[in-house]
Amino acid sequence: MVDTTGAGRPSKALRRVLLPLALAQFICSFAGSNMNVMLTDISDDLHTTVAGVQTTITVFLLVMAACMIPGGKLTDILGRKRCFTLGLTVYAIGALMSAVAPRLGLLLLGNSIFEGVGTALLIPPVYILTTMLFPDLRSRARAFGVISAMGGVGAAAGPLIGGVITSALSWRFAFVFQALVIAAILYLSRPIKDPVPADPSRPFDIVGAVLSAAGLVLLVMGILATDDNATAAVLLIVAGALVIAAFFFYIRRRERDGKEVLLSTALFRNRTSNIGLFTQNIQWLMLMGTSFVVSAFLQVVRGYDAIETGLIFTAATAGILGSSLAAARLAKKYEQRTLIAAGFLITIVGVLVLLSLVKGSPSAAAFAPGLLLIGIGLGTMLTPSVNIVQSAFPEAQQGEISGLSRCVSNLGSSLGTAVAGTILVATFTDHAYAAAMIVLAALGLVGLGVTMFLPHAARSAAVDAAPA
């Protein structure tokens, strides 16, 4: 365990450990949004449609969500550092495959499957190692703040960086950029030591992994199929719900028999954590849903190119970065419950402002106020939600809760792209854009309402997160 300095400030050695972990979260979030500004470029180059590229993006996010719980469990068996390194390697292979893809099929394999699986292997160790290496709540909250901020900035800056690379070189070089960042992370992560030995003898619940993944895949694919075949969509969604229910019955039975399970049902008995997980899901749903809808609308309907679309998202990036940097000071004054509620409220207002200002306006500047508010709102609430969930469980359960937390967040990202994106892609009109944004605002109101059930006791970790 690495020591911290006074006032819970991480030591220099610990800050060096935090850098590759934060960069890993950055590049995975970047990967989830940077393709949004390449929709027309990729579809033209690979002779496919915008809907086809949307499917690739959604499947990437879905694979992350579906494999995140098994990925978290594997950290106990293979070791946290080994899983982290393995995930980075698989991710880099997928990025290089995507860079040379001649058709949509190879892009789907490289980006959606390899990068998705790689992310599911490397992200749980990021949060587990952070929890273990930062033993006191104050330094841990600082670390989660940095990682969450990097995740939010990666998602918000993805369109800008992707747009610059696409316009200056080609969309393919955006994947080369990802591979280079992964190489840098592998180099920087050399000093990281696993604080707890791996346990290869620990059993792995393969049936549970298959059931959980299959249920999530069926559910989201059903949403994607809504536009093409309503009957098939309903059948897929119902099948997904039934498989997820079967998963929970299965793990409950195994627990009663005293067997190892993929995910302990005890994780769902913590009311505060459950609410925190729900807020995480809605936050990422709104972030990725807004990113896809606005990007697709600008490119397909308004005719903007990749760099113009990316520049517009600078406002969201600035909002997330600014509010994330202020998170520690805000945490000293306000409860986590208050910060999450305020974040939802600001984000909802941002969506409504984006909707009202953009309608009928050809100016790119009309998008800035709404995106700025969305960035500020999301940056305000991302860190408190993560800290509430991770701090609700002891060290022994960090592998499970980290996998579950990342699964829920990435499921939110996938649902945001699937739900809002499907509404827009159906017709690509101003009305479809308005409908998609209204749905996102409505879901934000649901998140705000659920936040009101967070207990005031959730304040402690937030207070400790503040600098002395």
Both 227 and 299 in a single domain? no
Q: Is residue 172 part of a domain?
A: yes
Query: For residues 447 and 405, which has the higher predicted lDDT (pLDDT)?
Result: 447
Angle at 236 between CA 61 and CA 409, to 5 degrees: 25
Residue 37 within a domain: yes
The pTM score is: 0.76
Is the same domain home to 281 and 152?
A: yes
**Is residue 368 located within the same domain as residue 429?**
yes
Checking if the pLDDT of 460 tops 50, the result is: no
pLDDT of 4 > 60? The answer is no
Half-sphere exposure of 74 (CA within 13 A, CB side): 21
Average pLDDT, stretch 260-266? 80
With contact defined as beta carbons under 8 Å apart, do 147 and 126 qualify? yes
pLDDT band at 304 (very low <50, low <70, confident <90, very high): confident
**pLDDT of 111 strictly over 60:** yes
Give the residue-averaged pLDDT of 131-140.
73
Q: Residue 11: what pLDDT?
A: 62
* Choice between 176 and 37, residue whose per-residue pLDDT is larger: 176
3-class DSSP state for residue 4?
A: strand
- Classify residue 46: in a domain, yes or no: yes
pLDDT band per the 50, 70, 90 thresholds, residue 39 = confident
Q: Are residue 49 and residue 148 in the same domain, yes or no?
A: yes
Residue 175 and residue 193 in one domain: yes
Structure-model confidence comparison of residues 159 and 102, the more confident one: 102
Task: Please determine, for residue 205, whether its predicted confidence score (pLDDT) is greater than 60.
Answer: yes
Backbone angles phi, psi at 356, to 5 degrees: -75, -35
In this structure, are residues 171 and 305 in contact, taking their beta carbons and an 8 Å threshold? no
pLDDT at 306 over 90: no
| Residues of the chain above pLDDT 70, percent | 90
Handedness of CA 189, 190, 196, 202 (dihedral sign): positive
Question: Could you identify the residue written with the tokens 């299965």?
Answer: 250
Contacts 24+ apart (CB under 8 A), 359-365: 359/430, 359/434, 360/430, 362/302, 364/304, 364/308, 364/311, 364/312
> Hey, what amino acid is at 311?
L
- Between 27 and 417, where is the model more confident? 27
- Taking 3-state DSSP, the helix, strand and coil percentages for the chain, each rounded to the nearest 5, stand at 80, 0, 15
Q: What is the pLDDT of residue 100?
A: 94
Q: Sign of the C-alpha dihedral, residues 96, 284, 309, 296?
A: positive
- Which residues fall within 8 angstroms of residue 262, CB to CB, at 6 or more apart? 69, 70, 73, 204, 205, 208, 209, 212, 251
For residues 319 and 200, membership in a common domain is answered with yes
Res 207 pLDDT > 80: yes
| Domain boundary, last residue among 219, 244, 261 | 261
d(CA 306, CA 359): 21
pLDDT at 421 over 80: no
pLDDT of residue 451: 92
Instruction: Note whether 225 and 326 are same-domain residues.
Output: no
Is 240 found in the same domain as 299?
no
pLDDT at 85: 93
Report if residue 6 sits inside a domain: no
Tell me if 321 sits within 8 A of 378, measured CB to CB: no
Mention every residue, 6+ apart, whose C-beta is less than 8 A from residue 351: 286, 290, 370, 374, 437, 440, 441, 444
pLDDT at 179: 95
- Would you say residue 190 has pLDDT above 70? yes
Position 96 scores a pLDDT of 95
Task: Judge if 328 and 340 occupy the same domain.
Answer: yes
Is 98 a domain residue? yes
Q: What is the pLDDT of residue 461?
A: 42
Q: What residues make up the domain containing 218?
A: 205-261
User: 3-class SS at 191?
Assistant: coil
pLDDT value, residue 74: 85
Same domain? For 381 and 246 the reply is no
CATH, residue 404? 1.20.1250.20
Residue 333 placed within a domain: yes
Q: Is the pLDDT of residue 218 over 70?
A: yes
Is residue 2 included in any domain, yes or no?
no
pLDDT at 462 over 70: no
Number of structural domains found in the chain: 2
Q: What is the pLDDT of residue 392?
A: 78
Lowest mean pLDDT among 24-28, 230-234, 334-338: 230-234
* pLDDT score, position 52: 84
**Region 145-172: what's the mean pLDDT?**
83
pLDDT in the model for residue 423:
82
pLDDT digits (tens, 9 = 90+) for 314-370: 888 888 878 877 776 777 788 888 899 999 999 999 999 888 866 666 676 788 889
Average pLDDT, the chain: 82
Q: Mean pLDDT over residues 287-315, rounded?
A: 82
Closest CA to 21 of 190, 197, 189: 189
| CB atoms near residue 352 (< 10 Å) | 17
Is residue 4 in some structural domain?
Answer: no
Checking if the pLDDT of 379 tops 80, the result is yes
Within this chain, do residues 190 and 236 fall inside the same structural domain, yes or no? no
- pLDDT greater at residue 451 or residue 163: 451
Please report which confidence band the pLDDT of residue 457 belongs to, taking 50, 70 and 90 as the band edges. low
Residue where a domain stops, chosen among 237, 261, 285: 261
Same domain, 229 and 345: no
pLDDT tens digit sequence for 77-102: 888 889 999 999 999 999 999 999 99
